[in-house]
Amino acid sequence: MSRNTHLLLGLSALFITLNGCDQGGGDTTASNDVGPTRATIPAAFFTTDRPTEVVDLIQIKPTASVGDSVVFLARVGGRVEPFVDGLAIFTVADPSLLSCELMGDEDHCPLPWDYCCEDPNGITAGSATIRLNGSAGTPIAANAEGAGGLEPLKFVIVEGVVNERNDEGLFVIDATEIWVGGKPMRGMPRRGSLAGEENEGASTGDTDAGEHDHGDGVAHDHDGDGKPDH
């Protein structure tokens, strides 16, 4: 499956939520005394107690059905922009997939969470879309990045219900609770996935999208258009 197809699958998970998105789900915080309110993501979605005996995403995805309750370990990423601007939706990838900062030289990849060195078929098989819904049952109108410590590359344990799936890799979870861990490093691909390791890892730095060299002499395409970006 091509990277373009993978991106389209991710976008399809977004489009099913756009009709009637919950503008007031969860708590609200006033931007000023007289202005409109701004949706926020309730802290109740997040836990600091790591669930035990949790399996990886790839172990439950093939057999989970719509309506099933699931709990799995994954990492935030799988796309150039894993968070959806203005909606509490983000993508995760199975821990068996290697993000680009775990390969090659230090800082050789400014967008390691897009997994562009991985086989696109593997990304499709090992990815999921996570939604944080408000009272109307649709995604809260707020970016999930930063909520509960969420950021690209971090381990997460997601508990929720399968909302939609298909044989082409689409796997949408309505989350009920999320544990946010830390980040791995080269030689320690599971660092950050255990209790007590929530603060492991450092900022990834540059977040500008575009084509770049991963130390293999090949320029990698990150926006999925099949041609250089700049």
pLDDT of 175 above 50: yes
Measured in degrees and rounded to the nearest 5, phi and psi for residue 44 equal: -65, -15
pLDDT of 4 above 60: no
Q: What is the pLDDT of residue 145?
A: 97
Task: Write the pLDDT tens digit of every residue in 82-98.
Answer: 999 999 999 999 999 99
- What's the average model confidence in pLDDT over 113-125? 94
Provide the pLDDT confidence category of residue 110 given band limits of 50, 70 and 90: confident
Task: Write the pLDDT tens digit of every residue in 149-163.
Answer: 999 999 999 999 999
Domain 3-29+44-194 has CATH 2.40.50.200: yes
Q: What is the pLDDT of residue 1?
A: 47
Q: How many CB atoms lie within 10 A of CB 113?
A: 26
Q: Domain ranges in the chain?
A: 3-29+44-194
What distance, in Å, lies between the first and last C-alpha atoms of the chain? 25
pLDDT of 71 above 80: yes
pLDDT of 218 above 80: no
Burial of 71 (0-12, 13-18, 19+ CB in 10 A): middle
Q: What is the pLDDT of residue 201?
A: 84
What whole-number distance in Å separates Cα of residue 47 and Cα of residue 190?
Answer: 20
DSSP assignment of 178-227 equals: EEE----BTTBTTTTSSTT-TT-S--------S-EE-SSS-EEPSSSSSS
Q: What is the pLDDT of residue 214?
A: 47
